[in-house]
Amino acid sequence: MNLRKWAIGLISTALLSAPITTALAEEADTTSGASQTSEWYADPATLKESYDIVIIGAGGGGMAAAITAQEAGADVAIFEKMPIAGGNTSKSSGGMNASETKFQKEQGIEDSNDLFYEDTLEGGKGTNDPELLRYMVDHSAEAIDWLDSIGITLNNITFSGGASVKRIHRPEDGSAVGGYLVEGLLRNIHEKEIPLFVNSEVTKINETDGRVSGVNVTVEGEEKTINAKAVIIATGGFGGNLEMVSEIKPELEGFVTTNHEGATGDGIRMAEELGAAVVDMDQIQIHPTVEQSTSYLVTESVRGDGGILVNQQGERFTDELLTRDKVSANIIALPEKYAYIIADQRLKESVTAINQYEEKGIVTKAETIEELAEKLEIPAENLKATLDTWNEAVKNQEDKDFGRTTGMEYDLSHAPYYAIKIAPGIHHTMGGLKIDTETHVLREDGTAIEGLFGAGEVTGQVHGSNRIGGNAVADIIVFGRQAGNIASEYVKQ
Ligand code: ADP
């Protein structure tokens, strides 16, 4: 493959085109130390007429599926409509939930697949598909091992909203998972010479004699029909399609979105054209902590590692580690409809994502609590009293005010202090294509569309009506791998 030559072409295209430059800039901002290397993308001249498996979308789900399918012996290609790989996965700011992992065991964290299942079901208000959820939790440790085996090590574990034990696995340095994961998956795609075509939008999935037979794809502006024995849809959600969101849920009109611009629901539309069933389309998650001027998401780890939320009066108003829907509702119920996340120096050193927020210019820093209050125009005596009470609660391991029980290992007493103003934003679409545990895309009557598989945010019902932080990455890796394996078995038949 002539990857290097193509790389130079892509970089110059990127520099010449404003929207592409913006996308690259955003990517650089949202990934922690990830260097998106364009030389990892395939030259369109190397595109073949047919593959065993075509994968639509190069987010975490699509790339995990591609690597797994190739390991299983299939000839695969990935089409990505954006100029870069990564999708919403790149923006994933927290980590990956997994239970009974070797890293938890090494660190003396007691967890079980059953507890992971229960926490997720509770978070999803009991509406998760029990079989899909069971499959995800039971294969989560294996997914952590698989990632580790391909050089993606998630061994820094902390609390996250809705989890009763430390379960969210992050890169060793505590940085956001997204950039690290995407970079690691891309490195594997490159090393294993899996062709990943960017600027390649799939517009239709084709069927012949009742079986999926390939796709129509526009590669660098040129329309092609590519044959495939199987197609894996890994196109992500529709949280970037504000029209679709507000059509389905009018009350979300006007909300900012944390989604990348390619999250437009294409996979759902294309599969529906083949008779696929959709589930829970109105289950759209808003994330409580989004900086509104940049739509930049402040990771749940800031709260999981000890951060608190205060209102404009400088008072706490919620258990900060309730599930996202509840924390969001508590913020929206405030007269000002926004809040501040408060952190200290120790927390900043633990959650290095805060450095990125500082670079983005969304962090207020102060040497004392009084100075912080002044900068935020909060009554200083209130903020001081709130922090004193909170630090006392941490010391006694008892939050009398809001009953918080997790993320209370460290108090907030190390200057300087930091604050980020946040409010909820559209984050994740929990509904989507109906699949079974083998990732077959199903029709309304429960039968599978032959040769069609789906994984990741494009699918529905894994998370029920509220996704727990850390479960999107678990979902894409577990089901991405499963789609890769099952589709490979299918094409060998
Ligand atoms: P997941 O987390 O499920 O892997 P992501 O949002 O990370 O989802 O990735 C989905 C990817 O699919 C994105 O990079 C997006 O640009 C891509 N995509 C969406 N629609 C299409 C399409 N029609 N053709 C090719 N790629 C697509």
Residue 476 Cβ contacting ligand 1 at under 6 Å: yes
Q: Looking at 220-265, list the stretches that DSSP marks H as alpha helix, in order from N- to C-terminal side.
A: 242-248
Instruction: Report CA(58)–ligand 1 centroid distance (Å).
Output: 6
Residue 462 Cβ contacting ligand 1 at under 6 Å: no
Residue 61 Cβ contacting ligand 1 at under 6 Å: yes
Give residue 20's pLDDT. 26
Q: Write down the pTM of the prediction.
A: 0.88
Task: Tell me whether residue 170 is exposed, middle or buried, using C-beta atoms within 10 angstroms of its C-beta: 0 to 12, 13 to 18, 19 or more.
Answer: buried
In this prediction, the residues of the chain whose per-residue pLDDT falls under 70 are 1-37
Instruction: Report CA(456)–ligand 1 centroid distance (Å).
Output: 9
* Positive or negative torsion for Cα 322, 347, 408, 377: negative
DSSP, collapsed to helix, strand or coil, labels residue 254 as: coil
Q: Calculate the CA 217 to chain-centre distance.
A: 25
Give residue 176's pLDDT. 87
Give residue 94's pLDDT. 87
Instruction: Report CA(57)–ligand 1 centroid distance (Å).
Output: 4
- Residue in the structure block whose two tokens are 């589709």: 487
* Positive or negative torsion for Cα 53, 54, 57, 59: positive
Residue 58 Cβ contacting ligand 1 at under 6 Å: yes
DSSP, collapsed to helix, strand or coil, labels residue 54 as: strand
| DSSP secondary structure string for all residues of 405-452 | -SS-SS-S-SSSEEEEEEEEEEEEE--EE-B-TT-EEEBTTSPEEEEE
DSSP, collapsed to helix, strand or coil, labels residue 202 as: strand
Give residue 161's pLDDT. 86
Q: Whose CA is nearest to atom 11 of ligand 1?
A: 57
Give residue 36's pLDDT. 56
Give residue 93's pLDDT. 85
**Angle CA(37)–CA(40)–CA(45) in degrees, nearest 5?**
130
Instruction: Report CA(33)–ligand 1 centroid distance (Å).
Output: 22
Give residue 37's pLDDT. 63
Nearest atom of ligand 1 to the alpha carbon of 201 = 24
Token pair for 177: 């998972």
Residue 94 Cβ contacting ligand 1 at under 6 Å: no
Q: Whose CA is nearest to atom 2 of ligand 1?
A: 89
Active site residues: 324
Residue 457 Cβ contacting ligand 1 at under 6 Å: yes
Instruction: Report CA(229)–ligand 1 centroid distance (Å).
Output: 20
Pocket test for ligand 1, best of 47, 80, 261 (most atoms within 8 A of CB): 80
Nearest atom of ligand 1 to the alpha carbon of 63 = 4
Give residue 22's pLDDT. 25
What lies within 8 Å, CB to CB, of 413 at 6+ separation is: 344, 387, 391
